[in-house]
Structure 1
């Protein structure tokens, strides 16, 4: 039996769900018989690029489209496995041959961004002077990797991830037709986990449909998919903002020991923060996308433990420091987030500083945004995220530019790559958590980082 996403793949443009910005112009071009020689479909995976390409190819030639049909005038090519110049040369030679049964010979090149530079150059020659009977439909998830010389010679259509309402309605219709008994709350979880991808969402529904002959509940879906409860995610975020390392460690240990993957926890926290962003969570939001193999557990641990408000094992300024700067003067944020208010003092503002650097030298600014920073006692400490950033910013002329942008009253210290802000002592945090858990925190990428 076919999977749901294959069974419910559209066979006509009007059957395509959630992409009117693509299907309506294509339908109009068919109606007016104004067909281009090259099309570029861009967008995330699972949004229907290949399906629409196939439908359009069949309708241009007047072929009846069935999912398993095979017409010699419609040629599908996988750009990932046919990416060399020899493959494109062969394509060009065959493209010169007239179509067999249709008006056009249509090449659908999936993942076109995978072609080599030489292959793109060979394809470009055909796009510049295409045979009248040839149409190219190229699809990609990474449009920025396609040379502008190619995109400029193609009609570009952008596919979007489906919004929650559209996806829910689509899945509910299919579930009812398939007689899948599933509660709305459970279906909403599938919508959320599908991330707007029709293929991913239908694959999840297919998987979930086998769980029970009775109504599939929210609790059953959460259990089977290994998802954390929303209350646990909210609790983790609350403890992060308060900096309670002991509580963070306990919560993580419980969640990971129940089989929930660190990547899943990170995804859930990202979704929660984006749905209701708060300034004190933006630093965490910047770290969470890095929670992936290798060392996913360790990365999640550090992301949550390195809170700006750590109450256990945090750096506490000496009394002499406090005389020079108030608590509000000491702020650590990733400088890439322009919406975060950084280092709010009477004499210095990070956003104003970076804007001035950008106006003076855009190249220096492009390196400055790859740093973290903190202001302590009138000294601006800059922590490069890469060695090359340290090298560039430390050049005499660039240091003078930074000093001038800071107004001349703020001393600037550029730290070595690998150093961390004093308020986020990572090694100390890990040692503290290790002590709380009564064992060594593992960072070898295998197993639970809280295991002894």
Structure 2
């Protein structure tokens, strides 16, 4: 019976072209070999299982190959290549720094470097997990790494580059290995399955690639495990059963329940997940990823960010068309908050169920919010009287008939007639469309439009049916006490609204009423000036209506501060003391005292 060899060893790349997902590194190394521009030391760093040690071995074999191809690949037939493949090469040495990390191990390596290679052009040293070397070993290795013999090349590999001394990093060419993409990994697993005559579903291979998290070695280990589990028939169901992965169907069904506002079905789906042995935190994290994928699928330009198979991608496309972006964002926010509070919650199942209930009522909450807002606007319109049509009103028909624009100068503010009190007209809100979707019905437009001057000159009528005021007719004399009373009233309103900055500005210094129209407010700095200018319109709207004077204006004036310098020298300090107490000078003269 032939011994079984795991796929990670059996299908280990032996050439640069067979390396998966690291083309940016293999291309650079091949060009360096062709141009004979090899560095004295290389550092390969990156996560586990992405091909660091494999690329180091391929580079070492290719450098000493006697018949390098035109594509910078080792021939595999010369004595150097055969000795390396058999593991008895005298020119290529591998050192595991995890178990040989002392100063004595490095000194032994340095002694070996002094001996020229017996065969081949270079003597190559591959040091794996180099970050495990001790501080003393790194220091002993520095000089040799900086000035090695012309025939010596060092290839270092590590998963934790931050643990290596900067002096070591500065002496190496650094190559950062990327995590292998899901598509590249799934295609590589498919080629291995074809060579081994294994039946497979592409969706199942994609799940293995996603679970591997960018490491090909982990993917090959799971691949061997599932081949044994499924008897060489890799299906989507066998993969999720063996790897204990939540099926996409759970999340698609749950999202449909959220869209239909079926809270009972959503809770039942979560109960099924718990009965299968999955943790609630794992479930809510998967739901967040599912909602994120739906948002990504809404825009075709971001569809490439989805690391799933084509079949699953189609399902995402179909479901994303049914859901609005607002619903998805709200649900994603709820799931993210649930994931944050999950570990600190005492009743973790209730935490997830509460999040699901909130998601199922998002649409209803939006509908209620919209209806409430509209009702408030409708009530406000009911309380406001109908605008009177003045002599400046021009009908649409007349404008079309004359086809001449109306000049604003022809209507003066003084000629405006105050509108007579009229019965308020009830403005009913537009009816919702019969299709069942949220939208506004058709609204009839008035057949006549008022002149622009009339619109700007009219003033809003208060809820207590005060007579309307027109700017040209209202210029009432304002007394100081009345003005200060209204000023304080507006400040108290700001205090209730928690606008502390403006409230402080209005109450610290008393304003001055210059003449009958200008209000001067003293400010201490430019920041207070900006605060005053930003609230100027609201203040004037309140004061002009309350005081019935539309000529009022507010102006900020900067306070003049006297700049004083703190006494520094002895003479300045003495003069400051004399300024406070003049008798001190008489005391100094009587006793003939001087300054030290």
TM-score by length of 2: 0.45
Q: What SS does structure 2 have at the residue aligned with 1:138?
A: strand
Q: 1:126 to 1:188 in 2, by over 3 A?
A: same
Partner of 2:101: 83
Partner of 2:152: 134
Output aligned runs, 1:311-350, within 5 Å. none
Q: What SS does structure 2 have at the residue aligned with 1:188?
A: helix
- The superposition leaves residues 276-321 of structure 1 with CA deviations (integer Å, 9 ceiling, x where unpaired) of 5676546866996999xxx99989869858969979xxxxxxxxxx
Q: What SS does structure 1 have at the residue aligned with 2:228?
A: coil
Runs of 5+ in structure 2 lacking a partner? 66-79, 296-327, 360-496, 499-526, 532-596
In the TM superposition, residue 264 of structure 1 has moved relative to its aligned partner by 5.9
In the TM superposition, residue 94 of structure 1 has moved relative to its aligned partner by 2.4
- The superposition leaves residues 357-401 of structure 1 with CA deviations (integer Å, 9 ceiling, x where unpaired) of xxxxxxxxxxxxxxxxxxxx97xxxxxxxxxxxxxxxxxxxxxxx
Q: 1:212 to 1:90 in 2, by over 3 A?
A: same
In the TM superposition, residue 95 of structure 1 has moved relative to its aligned partner by 2.0
Partner of 1:433: none
- The superposition leaves residues 303-353 of structure 1 with CA deviations (integer Å, 9 ceiling, x where unpaired) of 858969979xxxxxxxxxxxxxxxxxxxxxxxxxxxxxxxxxxxxxxxxxx
Query: Of the two structures, which has the highest relative contact order with CA contacts closer than 8 Å and spacing of 6 or more?
Result: 1
Q: What SS does structure 2 have at the residue aligned with 1:135?
A: strand
Q: 1:236 to 1:16 in 2, by over 3 A?
A: same
Q: Which one of the candidate residues 8, 12, 17 is aligned to 1:9? A: 12
Q: 1:139 to 1:28 in 2, by over 3 A?
A: same
Partner of 1:357: none
Partner of 2:91: 73
* RMSD, aligned α-carbons: 4.3
Partner of 2:115: 97
Partner of 1:59: 62
Partner of 1:169: 187
In the TM superposition, residue 108 of structure 1 has moved relative to its aligned partner by 1.1
In the TM superposition, residue 206 of structure 1 has moved relative to its aligned partner by 1.5
- CA distance in 2 between counterparts of 1:15 and 1:193 reads 22
- CA distance in 2 between counterparts of 1:297 and 1:77 reads 49
- CA distance in 1 between counterparts of 2:159 and 2:346 reads 30
Indicate if the aligned counterparts of 2:200 and 2:235 stay in contact, CA closer than 8 A.
yes
Runs of 5+ in structure 1 lacking a partner? 312-376, 379-403, 409-452
Equivalent residue pairs, number: 315
Q: What SS does structure 2 have at the residue aligned with 1:160?
A: coil
- CA distance in 2 between counterparts of 1:14 and 1:31 reads 15
- The superposition leaves residues 119-161 of structure 1 with CA deviations (integer Å, 9 ceiling, x where unpaired) of 2222222222222222111112222222222222111112112
Q: 1:266 to 1:95 in 2, by over 3 A?
A: farther
In the TM superposition, residue 9 of structure 1 has moved relative to its aligned partner by 0.7
Q: What SS does structure 1 have at the residue aligned with 2:197?
A: coil
In the TM superposition, residue 54 of structure 1 has moved relative to its aligned partner by 0.4
Output aligned runs, 1:172-211, within 5 Å. 172-211=190-229
Q: 1:246 to 1:7 in 2, by over 3 A?
A: same
Q: What SS does structure 2 have at the residue aligned with 1:18?
A: coil
In the TM superposition, residue 27 of structure 1 has moved relative to its aligned partner by 0.9
Q: What SS does structure 2 have at the residue aligned with 1:15?
A: coil
- CA distance in 2 between counterparts of 1:73 and 1:187 reads 40
Q: What SS does structure 2 have at the residue aligned with 1:228?
A: coil
Could you say which structure has the larger radius of gyration? 2
Q: What SS does structure 2 have at the residue aligned with 1:209?
A: helix
Partner of 2:510: none
Output aligned runs, 1:215-294, within 5 Å. 215-233=233-251, 254-260=272-278, 265=283, 268=286, 271-272=289-290, 275=293, 281=332
Output aligned runs, 1:369-380, within 5 Å. none
Partner of 2:437: none
- CA distance in 1 between counterparts of 2:176 and 2:7 reads 25
In the TM superposition, residue 46 of structure 1 has moved relative to its aligned partner by 1.0
TM-score by length of 1: 0.58
Q: 1:274 to 1:255 in 2, by over 3 A?
A: same
Indicate if the aligned counterparts of 1:183 and 1:216 stay in contact, CA closer than 8 A.
yes
